[in-house]
A = this chain, B = another copy of it.
Amino acid sequence: MKRTERVGAMIQILTGSPSKTYSLQYFCDLFGAAKSSISEDIRACNNALSFMDRGRLETGIGAKGGVRFVPHISDNELVQLQKEFCEKLSDPSRMLGGNFLYTSDIFFDPEFISRIALVFARKFRNCGADYVATVETKGIPLASDVARLLNLPLVIIRREAKVSEGSTVSINYFSGSYDRIQRMSMSKRAICPDTKALIIDDFMRGGGSISGITEIVGEFNSTVAGVGVAIAGVTPKKKKIDNYTSIVFLGEIDEENKKISVLPNNDIF
């Protein structure tokens, strides 16, 4: 097998399972090659990967040494993504009345959310999370993609307790967006106690849902390692949670003049 073929196959395997550690021995066995050749191949992979700046291989992971692909998005690609996001969101045809915008097309577009997911994967790759948590429904594809990039399990908190979830823990919380008490419910089987959550959601206004998630995972002695929301409302300024990262900020929705104000988060990193 030629080096080019080995390097191509390694890039396919490693970038196809982001953040998953493979032992060097795995590749030695796969290709029937010596460790020294595999080490050289990894350097060649990194030369190839550096061209796009969308992630690189890290070595020396684990007791026996190993290699994994750490996904990345460059500052330039991030700024471009924020620009597109602002343009998409400020389209007045999204207005639904009552300060609501239609955003399902954005959050159910696999290509677009995979780019947003990369931003959160970059931001939170070292936050020490054991799992990614979200509350149904609109943020699920995004949270699922972040979980894939960080190689973490996903936990989906439900609005209602379902028989297929077994015994559950439920809480009530106040949602400012809907101006009413809402409920969320989580299976007792969903998480191990004393672990850390990375919370991902599509939208945050006052932070009611996110603080609800914090509370419900807290019932399992789980703490929050990070919070990423794709869109954060500019108002209310005082949120129920302090630390979060958003890609963009949604300002005023002026229905009379058909104007939606959206700004990039310039302090994202």
Cα A3 to Cα B189 with chains together (Å):
50
Determine the chain B residues whose CB is within 8 A of the CB of A1 once the complex forms. 51
Does residue A63 face the partner (Cβ distance < 8 Å to B)?
A: no
Cα A1 to Cα B50 with chains together (Å):
12
Determine the chain B residues whose CB is within 8 A of the CB of A6 once the complex forms. 48
Cα A17 to Cα B98 with chains together (Å):
37
Cα A137 to Cα B13 with chains together (Å):
30
Contact: A153 with B110, CB < 8 Å? yes
Interface size class of A (residues with CB under 8 A): 35 or more
Determine the chain B residues whose CB is within 8 A of the CB of A144 once the complex forms. 108, 110, 140-141, 144-145
9-residue interface stretch from A76-84, A160-168, A219-227, A252-260: A160-168
Contact: A110 with B141, CB < 8 Å? no
Does residue A138 face the partner (Cβ distance < 8 Å to B)?
A: yes
Interfacial residues of chain A within 150-196, with CB under 8 A of chain B in the complex: 151-156, 158, 163-166, 178, 187, 189-190
Does residue A148 face the partner (Cβ distance < 8 Å to B)?
A: yes
Q: Report which A residues bind B (CB closer than 8 A).
A: 1-9, 11-13, 15-17, 20, 44-45, 47-49, 51-52, 54, 96, 98, 100-105, 108-111, 114, 136-138, 140-141, 144-145, 147-148, 151-156, 158, 163-166, 178, 187, 189-190
Q: List 26 A-B contacts (CB under 8 A).
A: A1-B51, A7-B7, A7-B48, A8-B8, A8-B44, A9-B49, A11-B15, A12-B15, A12-B54, A96-B166, A100-B163, A101-B164, A102-B164, A104-B164, A104-B190, A105-B189, A108-B155, A110-B144, A110-B148, A110-B152, A110-B153, A110-B154, A111-B148, A136-B136, A137-B137, A140-B156
